[in-house]
Structure 1
Amino acid sequence: MDTPVNTPALSRRGFLIAAAGTGVAFSFLTACETKEAASTAAAYEPTQWYAIDNAGIVTVNVIRAEMGQHVGTSLARILADELEAPWENVRVKHVDSDPKWGLMVTGGSWSVWQTYPLYSQAGAAGRAALIEAGATALGVDPATCTAVNGEIVSGDKKISYKDIVRKGGLTKTYTPEELGAIKLKAVADRKLIGKPVTSVDIVEKTTGAAVFGIDAKVEGMVYGRPIIPPTRNGSKANSVDDSAAKSVKGYLQSVILEDASNTVPGWVMVIAETYPAAKKAADLVKVDWTPGPTANVSEKDLQDHSTKLIAKADAGSVLPTGNTDTSAAFRSAASSIEATYTTATALHFQMEPVNALAFQKDGKWEIHTGNQWQSLVLPWLAKALAVPETDVVMRTYRLGGGFGRRLNGDYAVGAALAAKAIGKPVKMILTREDDTKFDSVRSPSVQKMRMAFDKAGAVVGMEQHVACGWPTEVMAPFFMPKGEKDVPFDPFAISGANHWYAVGAHKVRAISNDLANQTFRPGWLRSVGPGFTNWALESFIDEAAHKLKMDPVEFRVKLLTGEGANAGSAPNAVGGALRQANVVKLAAQKAGWGGQLPDGTGLGLATSFGQERDMPTWVACVARVNVDRGTGNVKVEKLTLVADAGTII
């Protein structure tokens, strides 16, 4: 962050502990002080992703949001391993928005998987440049040099990264083509990847020093709490009666927000000197609204609409899964099975309610908030504020939980519009109730499953039809791939249905529930598509095994042949279905599948894979469950989980 913010004040106890620790540190440093001269040499930046300063400190620029998953540590470890940097010299900087970073998004379990090539190449490039510069400084042939733990070594000669930077003259940079050609370390030579290290931010997180969006403050700011309209879309605030709110000490005003981006239609922002005052006053303000057309739509209405859409043979998009014409397979089938599965609306309930601080400074709008997809919300902010995107900067903070909610940064628009309306910095915080009302929920879904068998019981055809609200269609249509006949589909509402099982003709149809899209703003939640598509799939696989009177594990392994398209693809998903079969067999073995169990106790297995087929992850879980036949109480006694996640960082 470039703009200073005030972090929460230390408690008296915290101050005394900190002061005592500082005294010890000062005493120790004084006793051990060295006379090394300060250097003014500029830091060396082999790529934009990191810099090495004249003290040997490596600062890694991270564009992924930190929300408890230690993504900074993971990505810095990838880079530092290739760079041969001592871990104690590595720092992480979660950068603010800037076009130079490209796509800034943290979601879908993509961060490590998709950033690995970029950061490993960047680290290796720096190592190569330092070897070249170190060889020059030592007066030796670069071919005789190796990089070892922050030093370039040639025989009995060596020079540290710090001293190389201090000598200056390091200007070597790399084109994308050169980075792609860089030779990476052999797996056996890795020192940080897959090894135990201390997370770089563990002290901040455990002492309370970490600054979250809800902690951001600037001089002269006021607080805002929105009054959420009756519908997510189409509501209009006609008038505001704040007469009762004027009795609240610190209450300032209520503002009807005018939103050209249509992100927060119908919002009224209650402004006060303190957040408690804004919170209390908002409960007293009365708003006359004209609600949107979906005010009376129920969960049942949404599910019924999905069912009707599935019944329309030409609705939706058919995914390119190979042979998608299942009609012949079902016509000639000796038997078949069919089932329908539904899931309900799911909320995020992340620990930190959404919030944002917005203000204009030196002609630029600054938005201080925790966010998972800066590249998505920046255009909304620019449109709402009627300024170019280059005049909006999103400052980065820790997230108190994301789970996909903060991929949709709609809440930042409300704070920005309020700040523009009153001409002051506005810190907006939603209450837990507000956050729930305004959540970008995962849509309810309806899924129709069909499977066809020949006379020998072999699977010859399968269909999975999924209807639900599409978050990507509503918020990021440019992110949607195309299915057959060039019909686009939302991958995050269907992924998981294009599974690794060999089922003959295979039809997967994704259908957008337009009523759901109008009723709320569908959101991404954790595993996104597989969160409900794979649940239906695995439930249906069990039903199919039961119909065939086959063991559920045996049935799954039989279908995970690893042939054809299910063989997987390089570089990430090599092995494909065979790797999934392996985790299934291993989980079953470790859980004692097929062994003797007490009365009322049973085992059940489910298996899944990464959000997309090219993601290098396969998992299987066996649940040992006991049912008390007298009371009907169900107790999960043990879960046995096996995961193949490729390279473990």
Structure 2
Amino acid sequence: MTTDIDHGRRSFLIAAATTGAFFGFARAAGAVALLDQLVSPGMAYAGSLFEPTVWFAIDHEGIISVNVPKAEMGQHIGTAIARILADELEADWDRVRIVGVDTDPKWGFMVTGGSTSVWTSFPRFSRAGAAGRITLIEEAARLLAVPVSACTARHGAVHAGSRSILYGDIVRRGRLARRFTDDQMKALPIKPASARSLIGKPTPALDVPSKTNGTAVYGIDVEMPGLVYARPKLPPTRYGSRVVSVNDQAVRKVKGYLRSIVLDDPSDTVPGWVMVIARSYYAAVRATELVEVQWQGGDTASVSEADLFRHAAELIADSGQGALLDTGGGDVDAGFAAATQAIEATYTTAGVLHFQLEPVNAVALEKDGLFEIHTGNQAQGFILPVLAKALGVTQDKIVMRTYLIGGGFGRRLNGDYVVPAALATKVLKRPVKMVLTREDDTRLDSLRSPTVQRLKMGWDTRGDVVAMEHVAVAGWPSLTVFPGNMQKGTNGASYDPFSIAGADHWYEVGALRVRAVNNDLAQRSFRPGWLRAVAPGWTNWALESFLDEAARTQGIDPVTFRLKHLTAAGRNAGEAPSAVGGALRQANVIRRVAGRAGWGRSLPAGSGLGLASSFGQERGMPTWCACVAQVKVKAATGQVVVEKLWMEIDAGSIIDPGGAMAQAQGATLWGLSMALYEGTGFENGQVKDLNLDTYTPLRIRDVPEMDIAFTESAEAPVGLGEPPTTVVAPAIGNAIFAATGVRLRHLPIRAEAVKAKGPST
């Protein structure tokens, strides 16, 4: 079988009898012979394996296969997880392989998002490695006829004085019957940070070779015998549309056209969809353009962004709307009543699209009563119940095969795109491959919701902050995609934590009230989604811009103002295992980045420095970030040129230095992109921009100099993929104010707004 880029990857054949999907680097036991040819040399599936837990196995050659239940979408999560395990196992890194696993209850709830993968995987995989090391040492001691106390594990072997035995030989010769229960695993000690040999050290990423030689397989690559292709004819509204008639007379001249199917979807995921079926993808694309469909549209067909913002303002004005977060108590109303000075500001953000390189796609087939879904997906646990409802089967009748993802960024947390392929295969009784065009993908996108936020702060006669309020109105992704994630507020109302995280900050501001409000009009108009950092992408824009306003209102340097209120008192003290140090760690990254950027130095007219800080995603797993932006504003045009970005990140222990830096760089640049370049309008019930001719993310020519550093730490590792995005926009906004005196309160920041001195100054 050839493995050149043109033929090897694009013509990759998934055998109908496969029990799992090739992940790009290695695969699980039980693969068909065709796929076995593709694994790394030395990989062994026959005979006994050493499997002390479900998370890894060692064969007779000493090859260590690490089972990764997380989606690989360019963030090297397999390498990070394998490194965690291999460090505790004392493995030879050259003999480690990673295996992408299909859905199975034994892996637990499968989801990759929220920058939680390393954070949640570290305890599990480090102890799995410890279990393997302990067992191998015990059996090596027996084989070498020495006490266990005389043995140590190092670099894939157990050593006892001058003698040693390789892990592969222990597996081949030994009696490795020991298995660990969950309770036993939790009780296992792991290494201190000082003893780590792989974590935090430069080592090659395991997924890069297959991605560069063309053998890596993405969901869009899947082919199989008997496959037909589908493209959807999308309805005028995301919800509420109903097909009145379908006329395919004109399309019958398209060679390869087969039929058009009106989908009946009991899950109401894709209401009003018509699937156009053909023998080739080209024919499906061409035929879809010619099929004539009449719909009865939904009631959101005329909704615009102005409608969404107007409705949000009405919701904010009604204090009875939304859920109140537990922010530690205190009488906010009494605080404002006693305040001698107060400020208030409203911030808005436009909708943001994902535009991942690989458009959404899925292959579905039914075989022997089992539905197979071949696709790249971030949250199998989210979509399996929806698929079961749509197909009218139990979840055990569905298996999702794992593939590499050509860009996720939260889009593939919503697996809505697998439903139409599954429904089509149920009707046709043959494999169906659905690939959306770029425009289709954009119309179907689970965009980051447009938002409106109101913030208020009051001071007493001494200038101390006595009360603060933060209200955020947005579409809520969990409400539609994963209702099980909804939480209860202190007033009994439900809220989506992914709509408000970041507003429950670590600053000491007296009594704090945070209110999360659902924009129900947005919820009916589109399918709100997760997009790299989700709520902190908007809450931190408002919070850190507002703190800058508050500091300047008080006549205090913005850095000094922040440090003054990061006291780590009470609930802001932090706690083990993930938030040790609390607000003091946020203060530390602020000091460090301000020092590196030369905060307070003089700059030419029209240039300025701005700072913003955050704890990233969630209070329970804070990634402390601080950013300084240096900008130059062209007075004649209002164009903002970002000259340099400094970033300081405290993410606890850094597992994979190369992957961590790549994540931080990508997140920083996307933060810049969403600050100045990305953002779509909403018109007539649809997003305004459908392709990259009008939706214009950051271009290479506009990339500034970046100076990114990680605070050295031995604390628990937390998330890295998203937190840096949240501090760039407010740092830029604050820098623009420092340079020009223009305070901008809407994202994205456009040159016209700067030139006009902002929409709300």
> TM exceeds 0.5?
yes
SS state of the match for residue 484, structure 1? coil
Give matches, 1:39-438, under 5 Å. 41-438=47-444
Shift of 1:600: 2.1
- Partner Cα distance (2:590, 2:217) in 1: 42
Cα separation, partners in 2 of 1:251 and 1:599, compared to 1, 3 Å: same
Distance in 1 between residues matched to 2:155 and 2:471, nearest whole Å: 54
What is the SS of the residue equivalent to 1:309? helix
Gap change, CA 1:155 and 1:564, over 3 Å in 2: same
CA-CA distance at 1:278 after TM superposition: 0.5
Residue deviations 1:172-226, cap 9 Å, x none? Answer: 1111111111111121221110000101111111122111000011111010000
Larger deviation: 199-208 or 632-641?
Answer: 632-641
Deviations 1:425-455 (A, max 9, x none): 1100000000111111111111010000011
Q: Which is worse superposed, 472-481 or 494-503?
A: 472-481
Contact 1:121-1:180 within 8 A present in 2 as well:
yes
Which of 4, 7, 10 pairs up with 1:9? 7
Amino acid at match of 1:495: A
Measure how far apart 1:247 and its partner are.
1.5
How big is each residue's C-alpha offset from its partner over 1:434-488, in whole Å with a ceiling of 9 and x where there is no partner?
0111111111111010000011211111000011111111221211222203322
Unaligned ranges ≥5, structure 2: 11-41, 656-761
Task: State whether structure 2 residue 637 is matched by structure 1 residue 628.
Answer: no
Runs of 4+ in 1 over 4 A off after TM superposition: 5-8, 38-41
Q: Summarize deviations over 1:544-588 as a string: whole Å, max 9, x none.
A: 111111111111111111111111110111111111111111111
In structure 2, which of residues 531, 534, 540 is the aligned counterpart of residue 534 of structure 1? 540
CA 1:633/1:232 → structure 2, altered by over 3 Å: closer, same or farther?
Answer: closer
The superposition leaves residues 254-282 of structure 1 with CA deviations (integer Å, 9 ceiling, x where unpaired) of 11011111111100001111101100110
Hey, what does 2:614 align to over in structure 1?
608
Structure 1 residue 362 displacement after superposition: 2.4
Rounded Cα–Cα distance in structure 2 between residues aligned with 1:255 and 1:152: 62
Give the 3 Å change call, closer, same or farther, for CA 522–538 of structure 1 in structure 2.
Answer: same
Tell me, in whole angstroms, the C-alpha distance in 1 between the residues paired with 2:309 and 2:328. Answer: 29
Query: C-alpha distance in 1, partners of 2:495/2:607?
Result: 42
The residue type equivalent to 1:587 in the other structure is V
- For residues 386-444 of structure 1, give each alpha carbon's deviation from its aligned partner in whole angstroms, at most 9, with x where no partner exists: 11111100000010101111000000000011111112111000000001111111111
> 2: distance between equivalents of 1:478 and 1:6?
44
Larger CA deviation: 502-511 vs 377-386: 377-386
Q: Structure 1: which amino acid aligns with 2:642?
A: V
Task: Report the residue type matching 2:630 in the other structure.
Answer: R
The reply on whether 1:640 has 2:646 as its aligned counterpart is yes
Q: How many residues align?
A: 621
Q: Deviations over 1:123-149 (max 9, x none)?
A: 011101111111111111111111111
* Distance in structure 1 (CA, Å) of the matches to 2:330 and 2:7: 62
**How many percent of aligned residue pairs carry the same amino acid?**
57
Asked if 1:596 corresponds to 2:602, the answer is: yes
Q: Tell me the equivalent position of 2:530.
A: 524
Q: Which has the larger radius of gyration?
A: 1
What is the CA RMSD across the aligned residues, in angstroms?
1.7
Q: Give the secondary-structure state (helix, strand or coil) at the position aligned to 1:525.
A: coil
Partner of 1:33: none
The corresponding residue for 1:27 is none
Aligned: 1:463 with 2:436:
no
Aligned match for 2:566, one of 560, 568, 584: 560
Partners of 2:239 and 2:524 within 8 A in 1? yes
2:539 partner amino acid? T
Tell me by how many angstroms 1:10 deviates: 3.9
The one-letter code of the counterpart of 1:617 is: T
Once the two structures are TM-superposed, the CA of residue 630 in structure 1 deviates from its matched residue by 4.2
Could you tell me the TM-score, scaled by structure 1's length? 0.94
Does the aligned pair in 2 maintain the 1:53–1:165 contact within 8 Å? yes
User: Using the alignment, how far apart are the partners of 2:166 and 2:320 within structure 1?
Assistant: 66
Q: In the alignment, does 2:493 pair up with 1:487? A: yes
| TM-score when normalising by structure 2 | 0.80
Consecutive unaligned residues of structure 1, counting only runs of 5 or more, are 13-35
Counterpart code for 1:85: A
In the alignment, what sits opposite 1:440?
Answer: 446
The residue that corresponds to 1:573 in the other structure is: 579
What is the alpha-carbon distance in structure 2 between the residues aligned to residue 575 and residue 141 of structure 1? 42
